[in-house]
Structure formats: structure tokens, C-alpha cells
Amino acid sequence: MSRAVPHGPVLPVAAVLAALALPLAPGGGAGPADVVSGVVVLYCTVRLLRARRRPLTPVAAVVLGLPVTGFALAALAASSPAAAFAGLGRYLQVFVLVPAAVLLLIRDRADFRLLAWAFTGLGLWQGAVGTHQYLTGTGASYQGAQIRAVGTFGPGDVMGMATAVALGVVCAVGLALDRCGGARQRAVAAGCAAVLLVPLALSFSRGAWIATAVTCAAQLLLAGVRRALKAGLALAAAGVVLVGGLGVGTALLEQRFDSITQVAGAPDQSVRDRYALWTAALGIWREHPLTGVGLKNFPEYRDGHAPMALSAASDTEGAGAAFRRQPLLSPHDMYLLVLSEQGLSGLVAVAGSWLALLVCGVRRLLRERRRAPSAAGGPDCALVACGLLVWQLTDFVYGDIGGPSTVLTAVSFGLAAWWAVARHPVPGVDGRAEGVVTR
């Protein structure tokens, strides 16, 4: 069956990323991308009902459905029905419904690459806005100066632009390492990855820096040691030229880089707060080890387990927003958030699902490489999918879900799931994935 509209089914997923390019209204809450992601889930459901076919492989159903039990048990322990409904809905959106919809709407590698380029394009747009904020002093406040690049996300979601740019780097690196892609694609993708290093640095986000470095190293090693060395040297040279040679390496930026290795000796207030929140989360878990305290209940138990060093709120302003004290309502570690609110049973279910996706994705990459080392399609889908998952799992050590940029996490898990556990095309057939709806 020929396609009536190229990439038709996957265009609504691309619209989710496009919605994240829009300026957000102050005050938080659900953003345009959250609404569009809901439309994507509804659209996918209608397509499945029309097709009347089993949508997921058994492995995909188990892996994506595994966290649901933990979410449901934690919702029963929530402090109120409203908190239970909000928490359960958010977790299902990010880790089950949207990833499953993305998996089902991607038909082949061409659809996958479209979304990878959409991630890169979103990173370039947010990075351009963030760089302008830094150069003109119109960004979020950082040590008294309004220079922190936050893109269109504003100071209420300072990790938003960093996440978008970092995921753009991951996708661009994966596309650049495609050995079967055209020379123009590889060159453009490599150039995008190098350019995105500038706004990533200007985000002043240590967690995003660490996660991006770990992920790019993993992608390079999966692509081959020899290519890893060449690409690593080229990327390092580009970073030196763009970040240092163009004058981006200011004293504040250098201080931020140095602070990564000083968190154990003389941490700043943000690091002390994070340590205090981690301590509180572990204390909560020790008192409720099996099922946790329930969804959205971490703030209620935080002060009873946190040390006196916790400031309980952070100051945000700039980028068009007034001064505001933003309360610290989560431990800023996804694993500890799940552990404290859902207990050990919830963490095993959720982390087990993520680990299964990673193992299945890497195994499929290695299996395809053994089957056909130079097969059409190359490793780009694998390197992008595994890279997105590695980035999320690394970043979860320093952050958790929250804010409009969380939709990026949901789409990332969907791309990773498509590569890892979806039905895939048989070589020589028309390129569509067997069992995936094509109408």
C-alpha cells in the first residue's frame, strides 16, 4: 500500500515537538505540548480501533505496561483523590500512553529519522533563543545576572531548554554516525551537534552536561572504537572553538564547570539543597519501604526527614518573569522520587521497564550489526534511540519529571521503545513495520 501522505501517521508526534517551540504563559500548568500529546494518544487509539489488529508485541506490552501496577498502588496511597488522579495521569502520560502511541505511529526508519530531525530542529530553535538571551542579558537570573539561557520555557523550567538542546545533540550525533547515510546528512548533523554545544553550555545545567557527555561517549563506542576516536576528537575541537574561541567561556561558565568536581568538598547552595532532598527521600523510603507514601506526597513528608541545611525554595526571575520563590517539591532525582512515593515495588517496576528497553535496544543493535554489517538503514536509528534512553536514565540521577519539557521525555521513550520492542520491517519488503497500523 503506498502512502497517501509521506510520514502521515507520525506528523502529530512531530507536532508535539513543534508545540514546545511556542512561548509558554507564566504560571506553569499544562502547556500546548501536553494538549497535543493527548490528541496524539486519541488519534492513535482511533487508528487502532479502525484497523482491529493487535497493536503491540507481547514483549512491548509487558515492558510498557510493567510500571502501571506501581503507579496504581501509589495512587491508592495519595493524600487526596485529586492528587491521585493528577499523579497517575501524569505518570501514565509520560511513561505509558505517549510512548506507546509514538511506538505505534512510527512505521519505518524514515518516520523515525523525521522525528530525530525534529528533535534536532527544536534544539536549534531553543538554543538560538537561549543564546540571544545570554548575549543580550535577557535570560533567567544566575548569580545576580540575567544571563542563563532558558529558551521559551522561562525561569520556572530552567531545565527545559537544556533538555531540548541536549536531546538535539544526541539525535544529531546519532544521525552523523550513520555509516549508510549520505555525506551531506552526516555533515549537516555533525554541524548541528557542534553548534548546539554553545547553548548547552549557556544553560548552566550541570546535570544536562554530564548526561550529554555520557550519552555521546556511549553512542561513539556503539558506533565503533575507531570512529569513536575520530568523532570524539572532532567534537572536542569544535567545542574548544565554539565555546572558548568565540568568547563563550566566561568566568561564570568556567566556575560552573569547575563546580562539577567540587560538589563533595565545598558545594554551593543548590547542591546542598539537592543533597538535603536526597536525604529526605531516603528517610521517607526507610519508613515506607514497600509501597512508599503515595503519589504527590513527597512535599508533605519532606520537612520531617530533611536536614536543616535545606532552604526549601529557590529564587527565580528574569526571561520576562518577575521574582518568585519556587518551592522544592521533589527530590530532583527520579529514582529517589519513585522510591519515596512508590516504594521498592514501584521502583523495581519502573526501573525494570527502563532497563528492559535499554537491553532490548542494545541487543537489537548488536544483532543487526552481526546479521548485516553494511545493511541499508545503518545504525542511526539504534544510536539515536539508545542515546535518547541513556540520556534520560543518566539525567534522572539529577532531575525528575515536571514542567512542560516533560513531554520530551515521553516522546524520547517512545522512540527508544520503537527501536527496542516494536515489530520491524523484514529486509526486502516495502519498508513498513509488520503489524503496525499503516492506514
- DSSP H helices, 2-108, are 11-19, 32-51, 58-76, 81-92, 98-105
Q: Which residues of 289-306 are buried (b: 16+ CB within 10 A; e: fewer)?
A: eebbbbbbbbeebbeebb
Please list, in sequence order, all residues whose beta carbon lies within 8 angstroms of the beta carbon of residue 328, skipping any fewer than 6 positions away. Answer: 273, 277, 302, 310, 311, 312, 313, 314
How confident is the model over 350-377, as a mean pLDDT? 82
Question: How many Å apart are CA 397 and CA 395, to the nearest integer?
Answer: 5
Higher-pLDDT residue of 285 and 311 is 285
Q: For residue 371, what pLDDT is reported?
A: 72
Q: For residue 399, what pLDDT is reported?
A: 87
How confident is the model over 356-369, as a mean pLDDT? 90
Q: For residue 182, what pLDDT is reported?
A: 73
Give the SS3 label for residue 23: coil
How confident is the model over 293-311, as a mean pLDDT? 85
Q: For residue 373, what pLDDT is reported?
A: 57
How confident is the model over 138-159, as a mean pLDDT? 84
Q: For residue 439, what pLDDT is reported?
A: 32
Question: How many Å apart are CA 314 and CA 337, to the nearest integer?
Answer: 19
The three grid cell numbers given for residue 398, joined into one nine-digit string: 539529577
Sign of the Cα torsion 416, 210, 159, 139 reads negative
Q: How far apart are the first and last CA of the chain?
A: 9
Locus of grid cell 497517501: 4
HSE toward the beta carbon, residue 114, CA cutoff 13 A: 19
Per residue in 376-432, pLDDT (tens digit) is 445 778 999 999 999 999 999 988 898 888 999 999 999 999 999 987 654 433 344
Question: How many Å apart are CA 146 and CA 281, to the nearest integer?
Answer: 32
How confident is the model over 148-171, as a mean pLDDT? 91
Among 50-59, 200-209, 237-246, the minimum mean pLDDT is found in 237-246
Question: How many Å apart are CA 381 and CA 278, to the nearest integer?
Answer: 35
State how far the alpha carbon of 415 is from the alpha carbons of 13, 62, 316, 397, in Å. Answer: 11, 17, 33, 21
Express as a percent the part of the chain with pLDDT over 90.
47
Q: How confident is residue 322, by pLDDT bands cut at 50, 70 and 90?
A: low
State how far the alpha carbon of 366 is from the alpha carbons of 59, 136, 325, 420, 428, in Å. Answer: 19, 47, 49, 12, 20
Per residue in 13-42, pLDDT (tens digit) is 999 999 999 887 665 556 899 999 999 999
Residue 181 has pLDDT above 60, yes or no: yes
Higher-pLDDT residue of 142 and 416 is 416
Q: For residue 369, what pLDDT is reported?
A: 78
Q: For residue 214, what pLDDT is reported?
A: 94
